[in-house]
Amino acid sequence: MDYSVETAPLEELQCDCVIVGVYQDQQLSPSATALNNSTNGLIKKIVSRGDLSGKNGETVLINAIPDSKIESILLVGLGENKPLSGKNYKKALLAAVNSLKKPQIKSIVCSLAECDVEGRDWQWKSRHIIEVFNDAAYQFTHTKSDKETESKLAKISIAAPETERALAQAGLLQGKAVAEGMDLTKYLGDLPGNICTPTYLAEQAIELSKKYASLDVKILEESDMASLGMGSFLSVSRGSRQPAKLITLNYQGGDKNAKPIVLIGKGLTFDAGGISLKPAAGMEEMKYDMCGGASVLGTLLAVAQMQLPLNIVGLIPSSENMPDGDANKPGDIVTSMSGKTIEIVNTDAEGRLLLCDALTYAERYNPEVVIDIATLTGAVGVALGRVAMGVLGNDDALCNDLIAAGEIANDSAWRLPLWEEYQELLKSNFADMSNSGGKDAGTITAACFLARFAEKFRWAHLDVAATAWRTGPTKGATGRPVPLLSQYLINRANS
C-alpha cells in the first residue's frame, strides 16, 4: 500500500475516489462543501433527495462526476454535527473503506481527518485512517491458487491543510508501522498449523532481525531449555513431533543502561488439547493459539519502524499441544524453571505451562515491566465477549496504562480482579499448585497461576482469546492487540 499526505485542493486532484463527510440534517463537511461548489451543487442534490440521511456509517457512491479529474465521490455519514467519539470516527472510516472494496477502486483521497474528534488531533486522526483502511483491505491469499483479492486499493492519500501537514505526516508514519505490524500478526495467525510451526515462527523472527538492525534474535532449542530447567514448558511439547522453541528478540532503541520492557507472547502453533482432547467442532481455529506470539512479532516490527527510544525484549515460547504416547497426562506433576511443582489436572490448560517458564526466564533481564499476551481462556469471551480483551496484573499503574492505551488506540481492554481468594482454587494435594482452577472464574484463575511466577517484577497479563481472531463468515486473525501495545510503547517513549 502506498500512503501520502495531500495538501492540494480536492477539486484539483486526479484520483479514483475522494471521500468526504456529510452530517445529519444535510450539513456538509468543509471538503464536501468544496466539492459541491466545484460540481455545480451535485452533492447537495444527492443529499437533498434523501439518498443519504447523514447517519453515522451510511455511504453513497457517486460514480459520474462531470468535468472533473475525480472519477467518483464517496459520501460518508458522520451523524450529528458535533465532535465524534473515537469509536464513531472509526465506524465512519470502516464504512467508507468497506464500501470501496467491490467497485475495484485503486486510489483514494480521504478528507475525513478534518472531522472534529473528541480530544484527538490530526496525528491521531491520520494514523487511524491508515490503520482502519489497511486492516479492512487485508485479505489472506497465501494458501490459495487464486490470488485475486476483493479489494484493489493500492494508494491512500490523506487530505490535510498545509498547516496540519506535519501532524498528518507523523500520524501516517505511525499508522503505517502499526498497520504493517498488524498485517504480520494476521498473516502468521491465518497460516495453517502445518506451515506455521514453532520452527517457522522462529524463522520469521530471524527474518525480522535481518530487516531491522535494531533487532537481535536468539533461538533457544529444547536442549537449551532442558539445561535451564524449563520442565513445565517442555512437558507441553513432549506430545508433538515439532520441536519447541523459545524465541527471544532484543530491541535496543534506548539508553544501554535503561531497564527493558519485556513482552511475552504465547506461541502455541496448534492446540489439540493434548490428552484432554478438544471437541472436533471448531478445532481448526486452534491454529490461532499462537496469536499472542504473533502480536509480539508484529509489535516489534512496528517499534523498529517507528524507532522508538526504548529497550524491549520479546519472548515467544512456542510449541504444539498434541495427544501422544509421551504427552502430558492428567495427574502428572512437572517442575517449572522456578522450582515450583505443578499438578497437571487438565492438559488443555497448557498455555500457562509455557508462560510460567517464560516469566521466570524474564527475570534475567531485570525488566522495568513485563506484559504477557496470550489466547489463554475461553472464559474471557464469556466475561467480555469479543469486544474487549481481559487485563489482569499485580500493578495498578501498569494495568491502567494498558487500558488507557487501548482507549486511545480503539483497541479496548477491561480489567478483571486478581484477588487472593481466587488462589484457593489452584490448591493441589500433590504439588505446589494445580494448572487449572476448574470452570469457575477461568480467566482469573489462569492469571492467578501466572501471578505466582511474576512476583519479582511489575506484571500484566492480556487474555486475547476472544479478540485475536474472528469466527464465522469473516473468520480470520484480527491483529489485536498490536494497536494497544504499540500505543502503550509510544506513550512510554513520550513520557
pLDDT in tens, 111-127: 999 999 999 999 999 99
Residue partners of 91: CB distance under 8 A and separation at least 6: 56, 57
10 vs 160: CA distance, rounded Å: 10
pLDDT for the residue numbered 72: 94
pLDDT for the residue numbered 148: 82
Instruction: In the chain, count H helices and then E strands.
Output: 14, 21
pLDDT band at residue 102 under the 50/70/90 scheme: confident
**Residue among 249, 250, 247, 244 nearest 269 (CA):** 244
CA angle, residues 377, 324, 267, in degrees to nearest 5: 40
pLDDT for the residue numbered 486: 98
Q: Find residue 459's DSSP bridge partners.
A: 370
If DSSP codes are grouped into helix, strand and coil, which group holds residue 362? Answer: helix
Say which of 278, 415, 456, 470 is annotated catalytic.
278
Residue partners of 193: CB distance under 8 A and separation at least 6: 269, 270, 286, 287, 320
Calculate Rg over the CA atoms of the chain: 24
Mean per-residue pLDDT for 346-360? 98
pLDDT in tens, 51-60: 899 999 999 9
Percentage of the chain lying above the pLDDT 70 cut: 100
pLDDT for the residue numbered 48: 92
pLDDT for the residue numbered 332: 98
Mean of all residue pLDDT scores within the chain: 96
Residue partners of 354: CB distance under 8 A and separation at least 6: 232, 233, 236, 266, 267, 268, 317, 318, 319
**Beta strands 389-393 and 59-62, pairing class:** unpaired
Q: Roughly what angle, to the nearest 10 degrees, separates helices 165-190 and 198-211?
A: 150
pLDDT for the residue numbered 174: 98
pLDDT at 460 over 90: yes
pLDDT at 27 over 90: yes
pLDDT for the residue numbered 1: 86
Torsional sign, CA 113, 118, 121, 125: negative
Give the residue with greater pLDDT, 179 vs 495: 179
| Phi and psi angles of residue 491, each rounded to the nearest 5 degrees, phi first | -60, -45
46 vs 58: CA distance, rounded Å: 13
pLDDT for the residue numbered 149: 79
Residue 338 CA neighbour count, 13 Å, CB half: 22
Catalytic residue flag (residue 91): no
* Nine cell digits for residue 242: 515439532
pLDDT for the residue numbered 160: 97
175, 130 in Cβ contact below 8 A?
A: yes
pLDDT band at residue 392 under the 50/70/90 scheme: very high
pLDDT for the residue numbered 147: 85
pLDDT for the residue numbered 373: 98
pLDDT in tens, 397-449: 999 999 999 999 999 999 999 999 999 999 999 999 999 999 999 999 999 99
pLDDT in tens, 127-166: 999 999 999 999 999 999 988 877 788 899 999 999 999 9
pLDDT in tens, 190-248: 999 999 999 999 999 999 999 999 999 999 999 999 999 999 999 999 999 999 999 99
pLDDT band at residue 369 under the 50/70/90 scheme: very high
Say which of 352, 452, 480, 492 is annotated catalytic.
352
**Residue among 208, 405, 217 nearest 305 (CA):** 208
pLDDT at 12 over 90: no
461 vs 373: CA distance, rounded Å: 6
pLDDT for the residue numbered 104: 79
Return the DSSP state at 177: H
131 vs 375: CA distance, rounded Å: 23
pLDDT for the residue numbered 14: 85
- Give me the amino acid identity at 13: L
Catalytic residue flag (residue 352): yes
pLDDT band at residue 172 under the 50/70/90 scheme: very high
348, 273 in Cβ contact below 8 A?
A: yes
pLDDT band at residue 66 under the 50/70/90 scheme: confident
Would you say the pTM of this structure is higher than 0.75? yes
